[in-house]
Structure 1
Amino acid sequence: MKETTGRFKAATAVEGAGAGGLEEARKALAAARARRGAELDRWLAGLLEATGAAREVALVAVGSHSRGELTPGGDLDLVLVHRGRPDIAQIADRIWYPVWDRGLRLDHSVRTVREARKVAGSDIKAAMGLLGARLLAGDQDLADQLRAVVLTDWRAQARRRLAELAELTRRRWADRGELAFLLEGDLKEAKGGLRDVYTMQAAAATWAVPGPGERVRAAHDLLLDVRHALHETTGRAGDRLHLQEQDAVAHLLGLPDGAALLRVIVAAARTVSYAADNLWRHVDRFCADRPRGIRVARPGGRVERRPVGDGAVEHEGEVVLARGADLTDPVLPLCVAAAAAQAGLPLAPATAEQLAAKVPPLPVPWPAEARDALVSLLGAGPAAIPVWEALDQAGVIVRELPEWEQVRNRPQRNPVHRFTVDRHLVETAAGAAAMTRDVARPDLLLVGALLHDIGKGRPGDHSRTGAALARTMAARMGFCDTDADVLETVVLHHLLLPDTATRRDLDDPVTIQTVAQKVSAVPGRGRQVLEILAALAVADAQATGPAAWGAWKARLIEELVRRVDACLAGGAPPRNGLDPTPEQLALARHDGAAVRIAGSRVTVAVPDRPGLLWRTAGVLALHRLVVRTARVFASAGAGTAVLDFTAVPEYGTPPDPAALEADLRRMLAGRLDVAGLLERRAAAVRRRPGAPVPPPRVTIVEDASDTATVVEVRAHDRPGLLWRIGQAIGACGLQVDKARVDTLGAEAVDVFYVVDAQGRPLREPAALSALREKVLAALR
């Protein structure tokens, strides 16, 4: 309880609210509810006593009254239980009429235990109410019998009732929206509201799933206090918190204003929503399982645990830590999160908590593996959102990115925005993942999308403030100075394209020159910044809401980008970075084939021959190595080729270097059937579908080289990807003269300079089209 209450205090402290004011106000409201409930209990018990039938009937409360949560606008919900008395109607009238005379709203019923059981069997809402029935006065045995039969039936019919409850809950969510992201949300019925806690408690009563934890109960208590304050200030029973009422409700709760109130509501509602999503996911699994909830196990009785990444396995539809995962590795939380998102699976809440509690914080600057894992997590698209939420609920995000605290749970009191600031940032990054094929640096696009509004909630212009924060955060993440400059520029100018396109004359040369000057703030990176801003403009608007994006705006931005790009095209192109290093050239002069393995670095120097790249990549894939970078250089004069790879294990420990070198030499000598071994391995591996990813893109880059045909491949990274691409190029009778292969997060950005058997570039359109289609077919 203390931990969760502390979370709500933190949410209000930045608004200047005194935590003591909120806590004192909440204590007063809880005391008022307790007094009112006790007074009603005594009065209603007296009404039953006055009938003279207290020993033969039972008056029970259900709903908020039974839970001790009756707010000023709450209804009384009473059931009079009897054993078949013929005068029960007269007894009931002597209770109901005084209640109505007092002006109280009453929902009432008169039932025998058998009748109540029948109603509960057909009406799930009635059943949920009776599960929590509390005796107010009368026959204790009768009340106990009622609860016992309803609870027994509820558990016996758990699979059917839980399926009904799940459907009912999700229909309500679709109808009422999500409380955390609504400016005028329903405190009870919206997703993340009070009703969700009650349904989770009912689900837990089946014993099929666990009940709400301490954090959820604390969140429920806060929302109940807000509902009480709303009824108190408005004098009516409604549960929708309208904008004009928020300041008054905030003041009654000891908060400075409606903005502070919304922030504590968001924190509570997200806690409930997160728990509800997890619970109903377990309910779905339980309902789809075999009768009586029997788990499907492997021979020997062990439940299957499928590896999904280094240190992470899938267990019962969630990602959990693998046995022996290194909890001393500060990169582990991001690696496990990235593996979960890329597999399209949720991160188990207990695993997120374990990562937060036991794994040390990342060093500053972050190691490259952490930065890569972050980009891979964001690059999973929509699948990244629930995984990010799991890390956020566990406290991992704020620990590694302290600047996140200022935007966390911060509402945007603007009807155009449909999310809080932090959720908007994550939604934007998820949307940007669909456009990683459109930019040279998908990692900078994804991180820029995550940080573009990081300055909100601080004094001054949020773009300027955010740009400074983005540079600081980029340095912490380990980006080089030039990349940090790009991220700073992207955050500073993330509104440049939409604002200019919709507010300036695109036919005015000054407009184009002004934009070109701003995007060229980082020398040599102007066109790169422009394409990132173009993609970010789309992702940002789509994550904002339907009113922020449309075909008209899209056409204007597209035209602006086209004109600015033409303006920038006169600059000198950046170097392609394909030149070999002196060390690699020395290795290439080695007599015969040379193989060098140093950690994750694998270098091969050998007389040049067709298919060398993809066969070498195939050997790496056989050893479960994922290629992160590859550089290929062919020396026409010496007739040698140098292949330089950075390759890391798909998961688990690296392969034995001696075994890897032996297989590479066998391949070079023509004594290893790489294709056959890969096909057999692929047939033996059962892979479940992961998160949806954008389709691959293959582009023939015209006028990029006079001596070779340049093929750019953009695709979602996966084991054996380079093997498939190289095999397709070889099938067209082409050789790779140079290649640059990079994996940025989960995105492969590969460029191949290919020539025909005579060492010439392809010129014929038909041949170029056939090459593109062949590579695309291999990627599919």
Structure 2
Amino acid sequence: MSLVAVGGYGRAELSPRSDLDLLLLHDGADPDAVAALADRLWYPVWDLGLALDHSVRTPAEARRTAAEDLKAQLGLLDARHLAGDLGLTTALRTTVLADWRNQAPERLPALRELCEERAERQGELRYLLEPDLKEARGGLRDATALRAVAASWLADAPREGLADARRRLLDVRDALHLTTGRATDRLALQEQDQVAAGLGLLDADALLRQVYEAARVIAYAGDVTWREVGRVLRSRAVRPRLRKLARSGATSSEGWWRATGGPSAAESRAASGPRSPKASWNRTARWCSPVPRAPNATPCSRCAPRPPPPRPDSRSPRTPYGAWRPPHAPARPWPAEAREQLVTLLGSGRPTVDVWEALEAEGLVSLLLPDWDRVRCRPQRNAVHLWTVDRHLIETAVRASAFTRRVSRPDLLLVAALLHDIGKGWPGDHSVAGETIARDVAARIGFDRHDVTVIATVVRHHLLLVDTATRRDLDDPATVRAVADAVGAQGTLELLHALTEADALATGPAAWSAWRASLVADLVARVSAVLSGDAPNPPEDAAPTAEQERLAIEALATGAPVLSLRARPEPSTEPSGDPEPLGVELRIAVPDQEGVLPAAAGVLALHRLTVRTAELRALDLPDGVDGSVLLLDWRVAAEFGSLPQAARLRADLVRALDGTLDIAARLAERDAAYPRRRGVVAPRPV
């Protein structure tokens, strides 16, 4: 008999609260003795309070179980002898590995499907604020799957940084188990500061960046490895066709290549043409090569001529397009062709993401854009944001590529999209810091002085349109004039408009809506009119409607607030044709007195009403009516549930105005009643 560690125990990857995966292996000669020994082994482990996953099998039974259960087979691949008959363990390992290699063409696609299903359920580890270190894509499960692929001998994972990435995730899981005292793999928000302290890291952001970096390495290694597995399996599948071609005497290289599953000549030209992301990748890498020396100069070891780069295969997975790791960044400023190829890459749409990930993995991005290191894998502790800062910048460029026909300078739009949040790697206002960085990067890339100024201005004011449109009164000429002064030119305005939409779409579904789009478009139209010199005259105050006069007279007569709450038909501005609910109209008439606006706003907050628009005016009453009335027109929507009754709103407003309702105290009391998450520290302002 022998005692064998399998799974995580077999890999020596146990964390403080991990299960023990044990297999008692026997030859089947004496079942009673085996059962007695199993009891003597298992019960002491249970008495210690340790979680135990155990089984008792003969080698034949273990082999049969592995053939039926892929997960059991994966666990046996990591079998490690603990005690007893070493020969029995060695024979099982040899048999299981041989079976795995023989069954690899059928087993590896099933393993890949398991990985994809798990990623669909758990998401991308490198983008989650509360990631599952084990199950999410790029986590420990994927690292284990890569070991299994390597054991099949069909393909191997990129080795650079992979072992270190796995070790870092294991260290974080160890600290998480020690902090929580539980067998958990989910790095919850309330535990992150304590885990970071246990690992000697500065804060929770530093912890997440370390986790994201490790996950990125593992995920990229998985992409490369599974791509290679697919290539190998396709080549095996077409061998009968190759033999048939050989017997038929076919000599066409095109036919031979198509028989092996490769693309046609036309497809190859389209995939590697001068405007493709792949071609941009290669040319960008080439501009990072050393500066050529004079013909008679003796090259140093760093600048010596290099052999042609190898064709990507399983032996060189870190060079996905045949590029090499360059020794230094390109000259400053960049050559015009290098700048054009960067713009081409950014404007290629969704394929840009995969190419940029390859550039990141090869270290080219840090050479091209040194400031990128400060935003790489930087978390954004905001429920609206789906991505880390660096991925958000690429997603914004992808979104902006769809708007290049709306602007006169698409190159400036794409570069501004890439740089608009680059200042988040520095303290203070990220727009201000980003302006300085964008100015330097744009000059380094090779834009002229005017274009550098435009890019810097767009980065500095990339939040201006949406903030102004949703928080300020667009009917106020001073508001429109302030935006026009900040923008300065029509070309800059159209760039800002396109970037505003691309930024919001890249942030997440909650950041953009038809309502926001209509407000921003309205503001852009008004600012454009000012910049073109044909701004309309300020509108005169409209005469009060009959309803407004009725409310005002009633408020004067009663000496108390009067409310009117009713729905209004919504404008059909939704691009899809479905109107977005913008709330209902709330009209309040109050005899003129101090504190009306804060009291009304407080009552709305107390009843959980979101204010979409607000307008305050003093109403001119008909002749013969003395007194002054304030009229407040609101557009409100309930945060959840149904709208409150108008009578309740009026009663609370009366109490707020006479001082018997302490709104601040009520709001503070409600806020204190919310459940608090232990250990959460507010993120630093950016």
Structure with the higher fraction of residues in strand conformation: 1
Which residue of the partner structure matches residue 86 of structure 1?
Answer: 31
The alpha-carbon distance between structure 1 residues 313 and 263, as it changes in their structure 2 partners (threshold 3 A), is closer
- Whether contact under 8 Å (1:353, 1:394) holds in the other structure is no
Q: Aligned equivalents of 1:313 and 1:330: distance in 2?
A: 25
1:71 matched to 2:39:
no
Q: Aligned equivalents of 2:228 and 2:205: distance in 1?
A: 35
Q: Aligned equivalents of 2:38 and 2:171: distance in 1?
A: 33
- Whether contact under 8 Å (1:75, 1:104) holds in the other structure is yes
Q: Aligned equivalents of 2:21 and 2:487: distance in 1?
A: 64
What is the total number of aligned residue pairs between the two structures? Answer: 491
- Whether contact under 8 Å (1:320, 1:351) holds in the other structure is no
Give SS of 2:325's match.
helix
1:557 matched to 2:520:
yes
1:178 pairs, out of 121, 124, 139, with 124
Q: Report the AA paired with residue 551 of structure 1.
A: A
- Aligned pairs for 1:734-745 (under 5 A) are none
- Aligned pairs for 1:722-761 (under 5 A) are none
Which residue of the partner structure matches residue 399 of structure 1?
Answer: 367
Q: Report the AA paired with residue 216 of structure 1.
A: L
Q: Aligned equivalents of 2:207 and 2:499: distance in 1?
A: 31
Q: Aligned equivalents of 1:442 and 1:403: distance in 2?
A: 23
Q: Aligned equivalents of 1:412 and 1:197: distance in 2?
A: 26
Q: Aligned equivalents of 2:118 and 2:134: distance in 1?
A: 11
The alpha-carbon distance between structure 1 residues 293 and 350, as it changes in their structure 2 partners (threshold 3 A), is farther
Which residue of the partner structure matches residue 511 of structure 2?
Answer: 548
Deviation at 1:134, TM superposition (A): 0.8
Q: Aligned equivalents of 2:110 and 2:236: distance in 1?
A: 18
- Whether contact under 8 Å (1:378, 1:384) holds in the other structure is yes
Which residue of the partner structure matches residue 568 of structure 1?
Answer: 531
Q: Aligned equivalents of 2:125 and 2:393: distance in 1?
A: 18
Give SS of 2:54's match.
strand
- Whether contact under 8 Å (1:60, 1:137) holds in the other structure is yes
The alpha-carbon distance between structure 1 residues 570 and 349, as it changes in their structure 2 partners (threshold 3 A), is farther
Give SS of 1:60's match.
strand
Q: Aligned equivalents of 2:252 and 2:153: distance in 1?
A: 27
Q: Aligned equivalents of 1:288 and 1:445: distance in 2?
A: 41
1:103 matched to 2:71:
no
The alpha-carbon distance between structure 1 residues 494 and 312, as it changes in their structure 2 partners (threshold 3 A), is closer
Give SS of 1:135's match.
strand
- Whether contact under 8 Å (1:311, 1:326) holds in the other structure is no
Which residue of the partner structure matches residue 152 of structure 1?
Answer: 98
Which residue of the partner structure matches residue 590 of structure 2?
Answer: none
The alpha-carbon distance between structure 1 residues 132 and 552, as it changes in their structure 2 partners (threshold 3 A), is same
- Whether contact under 8 Å (2:2, 2:89) holds in the other structure is yes
Per-residue CA distance 1:732-758 (angstroms, 9 max, x = gap): xxxxxxxxxxxxxxxxxxxxxxxxxxx
Per-residue CA distance 1:17-39 (angstroms, 9 max, x = gap): xxxxxxxxxxxxxxxxxxxxxxx
Q: Aligned equivalents of 2:208 and 2:72: distance in 1?
A: 32
Q: Report the AA paired with residue 170 of structure 1.
A: E
TM-score by length of 1: 0.59
- Whether contact under 8 Å (1:201, 1:212) holds in the other structure is no
Q: Aligned equivalents of 1:294 and 1:255: distance in 2?
A: 57
Q: Aligned equivalents of 1:295 and 1:527: distance in 2?
A: 61
Which residue of the partner structure matches residue 533 of structure 1?
Answer: 496
Give SS of 2:480's match.
helix
Deviation at 1:354, TM superposition (A): 6.7
Give SS of 1:238's match.
coil
- Whether contact under 8 Å (1:452, 1:494) holds in the other structure is yes
Which residue of the partner structure matches residue 308 of structure 2?
Answer: none
- Whether contact under 8 Å (1:197, 1:212) holds in the other structure is no
Q: Aligned equivalents of 1:60 and 1:311: distance in 2?
A: 57
Which residue of the partner structure matches residue 452 of structure 1?
Answer: 420
Deviation at 1:550, TM superposition (A): 1.8
Q: Report the AA paired with residue 16 of structure 2.
A: P
1:210 matched to 2:178:
no
Which residue of the partner structure matches residue 112 of structure 2?
Answer: 166
Which residue of the partner structure matches residue 437 of structure 2?
Answer: 469
- Aligned pairs for 1:416-565 (under 5 A) are 416-520=384-488, 526-565=489-528
Q: Report the AA paired with residue 66 of structure 1.
A: G
Deviation at 1:214, TM superposition (A): 3.5
- Whether contact under 8 Å (1:71, 1:227) holds in the other structure is yes
Deviation at 1:293, TM superposition (A): 7.3
Q: Aligned equivalents of 2:229 and 2:465: distance in 1?
A: 46
Per-residue CA distance 1:674-710 (angstroms, 9 max, x = gap): xxxxxxxxxxxxxxxxxxxxxxxxxxxxxxxxxxxxx
Deviation at 1:328, TM superposition (A): 4.6
Deviation at 1:394, TM superposition (A): 1.6
Per-residue CA distance 1:545-603 (angstroms, 9 max, x = gap): 222122221221122222222332338xxxxxxxxxxxxxxxxxxxxxxxxxxxxxxxx
TM-score by length of 2: 0.67
Give SS of 2:152's match.
coil
The alpha-carbon distance between structure 1 residues 535 and 485, as it changes in their structure 2 partners (threshold 3 A), is same
Structure 2, unmatched stretches of 5+, are 246-250, 293-315, 535-686
Per-residue CA distance 1:349-390 (angstroms, 9 max, x = gap): 533697453465311011110110000000111111111111
Deviation at 1:327, TM superposition (A): 8.5
Give SS of 1:270's match.
helix
- Whether contact under 8 Å (2:378, 2:390) holds in the other structure is yes
Deviation at 1:475, TM superposition (A): 0.6
Give SS of 2:187's match.
coil
Deviation at 1:256, TM superposition (A): 1.8
Q: Aligned equivalents of 1:424 and 1:294: distance in 2?
A: 46
Q: Aligned equivalents of 1:144 and 1:220: distance in 2?
A: 26
Q: Aligned equivalents of 1:320 and 1:514: distance in 2?
A: 42
Which residue of the partner structure matches residue 75 of structure 2?
Answer: 129
Q: Aligned equivalents of 1:399 and 1:94: distance in 2?
A: 60
- Whether contact under 8 Å (1:330, 1:361) holds in the other structure is no
The alpha-carbon distance between structure 1 residues 473 and 66, as it changes in their structure 2 partners (threshold 3 A), is same
1:226 matched to 2:140:
no
Q: Aligned equivalents of 2:280 and 2:230: distance in 1?
A: 17
Q: Aligned equivalents of 1:290 and 1:460: distance in 2?
A: 57
Deviation at 1:228, TM superposition (A): 0.6
1:258 matched to 2:221:
no
Give SS of 1:455's match.
helix
Give SS of 2:481's match.
helix
Q: Which moved more, 1:59-68 or 1:88-97?
A: 88-97
Give SS of 1:228's match.
helix
Q: Percent identity?
A: 53
2:87 pairs, out of 141, 151, 156, with 141
Q: Aligned equivalents of 1:258 and 1:380: distance in 2?
A: 35
Q: Aligned equivalents of 2:480 and 2:288: distance in 1?
A: 52
Q: Aligned equivalents of 1:312 and 1:360: distance in 2?
A: 25
Give SS of 1:506's match.
coil
